Structure 1
Amino acid sequence: MSTVERPRPDLSHTDQTSADQADPGPVELHARNVAFDWDDVPLHWIPGHPVASNFISVLNLLLPEGERWFVQTYNEALPLVADEELASRMRGFIGQEAMHAEAHDHVLWEFLDHHGIDPRPYQLQMEWVFRRVLGPATSGPPQARHKHLIERLWLIAALEHYTAVLGDFALNNNWIETGAHPTMADLFMWHGAEEVEHRAVAHDVAAYFGDSYLRRGRAMLAVLPMLLFLIQRGYRFIMKQDTSVSYNYIQKKWQFHRGVRANVLPPLRSIVFSTFSYFRPGFRPEQIGSTAQAVAYLAKSPAARNAA
């Protein structure tokens, strides 16, 4: 379970009555064909917090290729699943992740590139990581390729643990109270709500193919340093191109901690500490966040309502 100590959800962006209801149980997963208008969104979309704005915007660099990799891997695994209920959840997961990749891909060119942050060098690196390093095995005996698929499914399960933690943060932060631009806030809150909504799928799929505590732990030990490295690399990439701020190292650290205290940034230590819950033998992804809160936000998200 996430170790972030957070305030109660704010009524301005979640329906308190719905969020306080008992967990609704399994929900039918489906993609929401959302669209966002980035024309008037400033680079520093959280007023007074340029470092926090840029740090959160790093996810737009990282997510498109990562989520396309999720979709590719699940499309490879889906024909091998005989459990129709799990297969249905996988199809919902695939649809949602494909929509996430498309939405964040638009941000690269209509938001970051528009504001003078050229995403191309970082995107080429992400393509190399997710298409070459983590891509499907195309040679070797079938048994080895199947084992490679299982290892990738556990890597996705580990990554989905962190996206659920971050999704829970997106639904319980102070962006709205701080005056964040509603379009960017809605992008991450819609995405975060869907991550909470489907947070158990990746774990259940990996367990279906090969339930192994060793595989689970090995995947997590590989994913955490990789994720922190890519986020920090992306943050430095954006800050180097953002000529509107000229903070030195100490000032950047101060601004980051200021964002954490204002609850517009998640504490990195809380993300790291959330790893310990994943190693508990009885861990279930449903212990992170609230399905009721996620569904309540999706019911009133401007982008999701437009899609409906």
Structure 2
Amino acid sequence: MSTLTVRKLNVDLSKGFERYWLAGDVYRTAFMNALSMSFPLGEQMFIDSVRAVPLETLPDAALRAEVKDFVGQEASHRFVHQQYNNQLARQGYDYTLEPSVKVRVGRIARLPVLDRLAITCALEHYTAMLADFVLRHPGFFDGADPQMRTLWSWHAAEETEHKAVAFDVYQAAGGGYARRALWYLHVSVIFWLDTMRQTHYNLARDGQRFKLANWASAARTWFGRRGLVWNLLKPGLDYLSPRFHPWQHDNRALLGMWLERNDDSFRAIGSTPS
């Protein structure tokens, strides 16, 4: 029996959203938009890497069920963020890194299965850490467009719910510590470099790179009292432990709280067929 639920988000992005939808904060909007731009390609890569392990080779029936729902959740995220990114394109924001990322994803697809899974585990850990931040500090979205706030919170909830699936598949397929740790170090550099570059491009599109207010917002976002650096540093380092497992950081209470308080924001659509 799977512990995951595939949900349809009750958000309609067809009418678009404000250019600086995150309470008028130019930097935070540019940063969140940069993350969204990377998601459709990334989430398809996650789906493909997990599906590269035949379900019948996984000894745990519960894990086999969770793989199916992991695919369903990630497919939903991919779809919604593509709608989001379409609106960004209409606003004149291009995913500048898309050609190089497509080349990189193509290269990853030719790697051995365990390497593909290790890369997916590393990126899933980053999405899980960012998801925990979103659920733990809802004030980050104070004043945001309500639909965008719902979208990001829903994504965070489901990333939390399935944060161990790729990791468990990796271990069940015979993946070891050294491969996992080495790919994590590599992925960490690429992930943050790409995100910062796309954020820079988004700011440059509006001539906002050198405005003092945006530098101040960036400093608060990363190094403020509830900044990302302080929230990501310890769990980021924890991944390098040979004994690490994603549910050692058990934040299911945050997940349950959000699902209970926002049950009108989505509807369950069940499992995804294999």
Pick the TM interval, shorter chain: 0.7 to 0.9
Change in 2 beyond 3 A, CA 1:80/1:225? farther
Instruction: Write the distance in 2 (CA, Å) between the matches of 1:256 and 1:70.
Output: 29
The answer on whether the counterparts of 2:10 and 2:267 sit within 8 Å (CA) in structure 1 is: no
- TM-score relative to the length of structure 1: 0.78
Deviation of 1:122 (Å): 3.0
What corresponds to 1:88 in structure 2? 65
Q: Matched residue of 1:33: which SS?
A: strand
- TM-score relative to the length of structure 2: 0.87
Instruction: Write the distance in 2 (CA, Å) between the matches of 1:218 and 1:195.
Output: 23
Alignment size in residue pairs: 266
Change in 2 beyond 3 A, CA 1:224/1:169? same
State yes or no: 1:164 paired with 2:128: yes
Match of 2:142, as an amino acid? Answer: T
- Superposed counterparts of 1:1-308, under 5 Å: 28-38=3-13, 39=15, 41-83=17-59, 84-109=61-86, 111-119=87-95, 121-130=96-105, 132-137=106-111, 148-175=112-139, 178-243=142-207, 246-248=208-210, 252-260=214-222, 261=224, 263=226, 266-268=227-229, 270-288=231-249, 290-299=251-260, 300-305=262-267
CA-based RMSD of the aligned residues comes to: 2.5
Instruction: Write the distance in 2 (CA, Å) between the matches of 1:253 and 1:274.
Output: 26
What corresponds to 1:3 in structure 2? none
Deviation of 1:97 (Å): 0.8
Match of 1:217, as an amino acid? Answer: A
Instruction: Write the distance in 2 (CA, Å) between the matches of 1:277 and 1:58.
Output: 26
Q: Matched residue of 1:125: which SS?
A: helix
Instruction: Write the distance in 2 (CA, Å) between the matches of 1:289 and 1:72.
Output: 27
> Deviation string for 1:141-180 (max 9, x for gaps)?
xxxxxxx101111111111111111010111224477211
Change in 2 beyond 3 A, CA 1:283/1:181? same
The answer on whether the counterparts of 1:165 and 1:288 sit within 8 Å (CA) in structure 2 is: no
Change in 2 beyond 3 A, CA 1:108/1:196? same
The answer on whether the counterparts of 1:165 and 1:271 sit within 8 Å (CA) in structure 2 is: yes
Q: Where do 5+ consecutive residues of structure 1 fail to align?
A: 1-25, 138-147
Change in 2 beyond 3 A, CA 1:177/1:51? closer
Q: Where do 5+ consecutive residues of structure 2 fail to align?
A: none
Change in 2 beyond 3 A, CA 1:116/1:287? same
Q: Matched residue of 1:77: which SS?
A: coil
Aligned-residue identity in percent: 26
